[in-house]
Amino acid sequence: MAGTDSLIAILTDLAKDVAKLPLTPISTAASTALTAGKSWQFWLGVGLLGAFFGVPSPAASAPEDGSTDPAPGTDTEVPISQATGPFGVDVSSPVTSSEWACLKDSKQAAYGIVRCYRSVDAVDENCRSTVVAGWEAGLDRMDVYHFPAIGKTSAADQVGDVFDSLAADDKAKIGVYWMDVEMYDGNPSRWDLDNQNVNVKWLEDAVAAAWDRIGSDEQFKGAMVGIYTDRTSWTDLTGDADVNAIWTEASLPLWWARYDYDPASVSDFDSNKFGKWDEPEIKQYSPNDSACATNYDSNWVVGTSGVDTEAQ
């Protein structure tokens, strides 16, 4: 039949064209052919070949529940710098799902960061429910931060207590576990001012414990660890330690505290870098803000590389 003969001819020409292309996925080969000005017959052949070899469509590849977004906390989760918006809030008090939804709608909050350990050497009992509430409200990601208690419970036990608390609800997944390194109103809280090595060792142990739990618990697969600090705190408490030496197996992104009320500006950081960080990932630019019956600090994504949430 004439139609069949034409189809065979098209497929034959297609095979010749494809044979000349590098061994790349069909999508790449098709893109290359498109730039070469292939005809509609070529694209018909591509479609027929896809159908013949069972290449799935995007719809066929979607999860059985009909969703298209990856589950939070997985290694395919959207990096924080690729969230739907750069603005996010950190909180130290409980926040309900309706309050999170209000912040998302009225302030365009794309992510939340929740205090999960307190300097009084105890897990924040409101952390888990606040994390879950953020996911339920539809935020892109939920992180936690750890305000340490140096010289009390060991770093590993503190971190373990946080993960144990989160693990009590399988919906309490996290994107980044931030270690809080700061001089609080000039008071180092539990940090050791006389021996910076003690502080660095605590960080090394805490980061190692967090990564160990991330790597061993399916609930936290895809999460990673980062550092919250400012230049003065980092210098005074760690002696301007090289962050790459704190943990050598993965990068530790910086959540940078700089209260200049200018969300996107990093000029101060660029002119006075510390800790061997190339750039901050997030900037905390305004403290003590309030909306939607919630007190929070305001943050802006300023990093260009993105937080890679794939577990190392």
Q: What is the mean pLDDT of residues 42-64?
A: 37
DSSP 94: -
Question: Residue 304: how many CB atoms within 10 A of its CB?
Answer: 10
Check if CATH label 2.60.40.10 holds for domain 80-301: no
pLDDT score recorded for residue 68: 34
Whether residue 174 contacts residue 132, with contact meaning beta carbons closer than 8 Å, is answered with no
DSSP 55: P
Token pair recorded at residue 3: 């139609």
Query: How far is Cα 210 from Cα 36, in angstroms, rounded to an integer?
Result: 50
DSSP-assigned states of every residue in 233-248:
HHHHHHSS--HHHH-S
Whether residue 309 contacts residue 83, with contact meaning beta carbons closer than 8 Å, is answered with no
- The yes-or-no verdict on residue 79 having pLDDT over 90 is no
Query: How far is Cα 206 from Cα 162, in angstroms, rounded to an integer?
Result: 11
Higher pLDDT, 206 or 35: 206
16-27 pLDDT, tens digit each: 443 444 433 333
Q: What is the mean pLDDT of residues 205-232?
A: 97
Write down the mean pLDDT value for the chain.
79
R_g (Cα) of the chain, nearest Å: 25
Three-state SS letters, 110-167: CEEEEEEEECCCEECCCHHHHHHHHHHCCCCEEEEEECCCCCCCCHHHHHHHHHHHHH
Whether residue 244 contacts residue 237, with contact meaning beta carbons closer than 8 Å, is answered with no
Q: Enumerate the domain spans of the chain.
A: 2-55, 80-301
Give the predicted TM-score (pTM) of the model. Answer: 0.73
Name residue 134's amino acid.
G
Question: Residue 3: how many CB atoms within 10 A of its CB?
Answer: 7
pLDDT score recorded for residue 190: 74
Helix (H) or strand (E) holding 292: none
Token pair recorded at residue 142: 């939920």
Query: How far is Cα 233 from Cα 250, in angstroms, rounded to an integer?
Result: 23
Segment among 40-54, 112-126, 132-146, 224-238 with least mean pLDDT: 40-54
Residue 150 CB burial class (10 angstroms; 0-12, 13-18, ≥19): buried
Q: What is the mean pLDDT of residues 230-255?
A: 95
Enumerate the β-bridge partners of residue 299. 88, 284
Give the torsion sign (CA, 163, 164, 168, 170). Answer: positive
